[in-house]
A and B are shown apart, each in its own frame.
Chain A
Amino acid sequence: KAGVTQTPRYLIKTRGQQVTLSCSPISGHRSVSWYQQTPGQGLQFLFEYFSETQRNKGNFPGRFSGRQFSNSRSEMNVSTLELGDSALYLCASSSTGQSNEQFFGPGTRLTVL
């Protein structure tokens, strides 16, 4: 089975721009979660989608949003980028919403200049 894939792997943007990141979960997995990793804050949960519905959301401003499609692929969007949004964004998938085993993709490294 192919693993979790994330595109693009690297992105450079400037302040004020917006960005969309994509995640394709493992085939058959219906839950997709997003995490932000920074040196200062560590790994923080952004949101989780299951069957196209956002079921859980972390403590991030409304500039961070996401969605999930019928094929379980997910996108996250960050609008009005700030320097502090520079981070590694990780996507994880699991088979069901209650499954506690999450499989991570390689991440998208976002740099905001």
Chain B
Amino acid sequence: GNSVTQMEGPVTLSEEAFLTINCTYTATGYPSLFWYVQYPGEGLQLLLKATKADDKGSNKGFEATYRKETTSFHLEKGSVQVSDSAVYFCALFKTGANNLFFGTGTRLTVIP
């Protein structure tokens, strides 16, 4: 079946530290992969996406590369800010199923 395994949190980092949140997936075929971010009291915002192997999604300094050989889509940012504090969700979309499969979410707290 389709599933996403995401690094457990919470993660606490100092401002300007390097961020990595691991994500691996299980799916047949070629799913599209996403990172969503959820700020307190809000819905989900699409952070970045990749639709095929070796694609790199990027947005607001965040990056993730679709690695089919390792079935991974790890999220990285070179220098986090306090405003990046949020919960991050890795997800996959499988055409045909027409819905997103989410990881459990990773709470990131950035301290000044």
Contacts and interface: CB of A to CB of B under 8 A. Distances in A.
A45 to B, nearest CB: 4
A104 B96 CA distance: 20
For B36, B45, B93, which residue has the most chain A Cβ atoms within 10 angstroms? B93
Contacts of B88: none
B42 A106 contact: yes
Interface stretch (A12-20, A68-76, A79-87, A95-103): A95-103
Contact of B99 (A42, A48, A104): A48
Question: Which size class do A's interface residues fall under?
Answer: 20 to 34
A100 B30 CA distance: 12
Contact of B98 (A35, A48, A105): A48
B32 interface: yes
A104 B98 contact: no
B71 interface: no
Contacts of A102: 46, 93, 100
A107 interface: yes
Given A104-B43, A104-B45, A106-B43, A43 B99 contact: no
The main secondary structure of chain B at its interface with chain A is strand
B32 to A, nearest CB: 4
A45 B99 contact: yes
Interface of A: 4, 6, 31, 33, 35, 42-43, 45, 48, 50, 55-56, 58, 90, 92, 97-98, 100-107
Interface of B: 32, 34, 36, 42-46, 49, 51, 89, 93, 95, 97-105
12 contacts: A6-B43, A42-B104, A43-B102, A45-B101, A98-B95, A100-B34, A100-B93, A100-B95, A101-B49, A102-B46, A104-B36, A107-B43
Q: Nearest 7 pairs between A and B by C-beta?
A: A43-B102, A100-B93, A104-B44, A104-B43, A100-B32, A45-B99, A106-B43
